[in-house]
Structure 1
């Protein structure tokens, strides 16, 4: 049995389908999805636009209940949103009337943690995302990349079991995007967290994911899973980037072929 097989299953998606009722006819967004997310994995989901990637994330987050099948977290059915599953969207949903620090502290404050613990958590995650000198700034004063760092820190501040990310770097410029990829990889390594991330970018998925799942066009089905270790090699490179070799190119071309079907 391999090392990955021994890991605890945190999220178990079992035979999940989701059908939306519309004015004309029902639309099936997801069909018979089976997926396990194991502790410590960095799972990236790829697929064409409209294939149900975000729907799957919303089911795992607890925002949507599947039409058929079940979604479990550590053996218990997911019945609604829960701080054990932190969510980061493409557009950072920050509270503009709060400072950067207050945004990050929001979750622990809602959970009524002790005041000194809230301050410790806020300070720690400001440091984690490199915004220590911006703690008292208003969020509207920040660049897009900085806002996304705050959104990430706010999700991390609850110290969730799983971080769910819906194209979190999609709206960023190329350089900021690469910097954010390095940041999230380092945080994942340091915190030993479990991450489920949707992306349209095949290179992003290959350079971050320990597992990459490729979905079909609507209705979304899982066509193939890849187990990867490129993200570990990136950690050993001084520039924090993946070395693009023969294996990388071969897998990338296979994914392009699958998505283009």
Structure 2
């Protein structure tokens, strides 16, 4: 088998693994964009206290936040076909492809986690500010957009950044349902060559670089949004 770790094998794996980073990014982008939308809908239901839906949303959020990501992934991957295959008379697994099940899982997961972040951020803003906006002649939407939303973004930004880092890390689980991302590609390279260490070390480095980059971006955003706050205070 030769040496346990060799730099030449490590460098050879870079062009083999990096192209599959696009799969990881696509999962993160879909989960973030649609997760934000779903999270806002959930927050709206919670704030408006819509009968029936409000209780259902609480159960959903509690389930998604209280169960491992891997369990959710398996439930979606095996559960949706079990429910829909008899009804549609087809094999959903073949029609959709594994990556679409990953999209659904991560969107549902992010919707729950982001709703908790958004709800905490919104409820931290005194309701008196909303009342002041309405009394000044602003509509409910204008009050939210001009007064509540900017403060909500400031409050939600740090936990949102931490959640995004976790999302990148959790995306490594999708290879377990057959999605070939960077982790899945590393596994296939290890299986084919019998040298697994170089591929996994490269994947670790990629995740570390991504995590540090995301944290740096949100750190600078947070500093920019709070610039001058200390002087004013």
What TM-score do you get using the length of structure 1 for normalisation?
0.24
| Higher Cα Rg, which structure | 2
Greater length-normalized contact order (CA 8 Å, ≥ 6 residues apart): 2
Q: Which structure has more helix as a fraction of its residues?
A: 2
Q: Taking structure 2 as the reference length, what is the TM-score of the superposition?
A: 0.26
